[in-house]
Structure 1
Amino acid sequence: MFLAKITGNLTATQKVDSMVGQTLFIVEPLRVDEQSQDSLKSTGRTFIAVDTVGAGEGEVVLIVQGSSARFTDETKMLPIDCAIIGIIDTVQIGTKSIYRSN
């Protein structure tokens, strides 16, 4: 599992039947700033993820990849390898809160 920020969405008018109705987001994985440990920063990569929780653009979310992406009731029959499984409210390192949703 890892954290990611939703940076955009996609529309695909032609796709396999099992993907009809699925929301697809562009997500950018995040990591704790290794220098200061007081913020989250981008890893510089992007993925396409299927939303299973009703997330929206700009939110920080919890992502799973690989076969784990197909372990939910909503995704077990989908041809995917990246899924959003949670919306993050806060991230805390020790006693310091480094992220809080709006």
Structure 2
Amino acid sequence: MNLGKVIGTVIATRKDERLVGSKLMITQPLDYDYKPIGNPFIAVDTVGAGIGEVVIYTTSGTAARLAARKMEAPIDIAIVGIVDKVDIEP
């Protein structure tokens, strides 16, 4: 699992029928100091995250489809948690 920040939403009125009802969020990967790393991507939101929230996401296709409860859907990344706080011991 990884950390990311939701930076936007995607609205697609035409999409694979197996994605109907899925909320699509643009997510920026973060390191554990909340600094952006890599390129943003689109993830299926399974927890009701909103723009500006730090989230936990999974990048394994099978885990993402399990989280979304859509095993036959074309999902590679899913948001599976909303982060309240990260504590790292020095």
> What TM-score, normalized to structure 2?
0.90
- Give a deviation string over 1:25-81, Cα, whole Å, max 9, x none: 00000003xxxxxx3200041110000011111100000013221123623232110
Q: Cα RMSD between the aligned structures?
A: 1.5
For residue 16 of structure 1, what is the aligned residue in structure 2? 16
For residue 70 of structure 2, what is the aligned residue in structure 1? 75
Whole-angstrom CA distance in 1 between matches of 2:74 and 2:30: 24
> What TM-score, normalized to structure 1?
0.80
Higher helix residue share = 2
Identity of aligned residues (%): 46
SS in 2 for 1:9: strand
Change (3 A) 1:47 1:73: closer
Higher strand residue share = 1
Structure 2: stretches of 5+ with no match in the other structure? none
For residue 3 of structure 2, what is the aligned residue in structure 1? 3
Whole-angstrom CA distance in 2 between matches of 1:15 and 1:85: 22
- Structure-to-structure mapping, 1:48-63, within 5 angstroms: 48-63=42-57
Are 2:18 and 2:72, in contact at CA under 8 Å, matched by a contact in 1?
Answer: yes
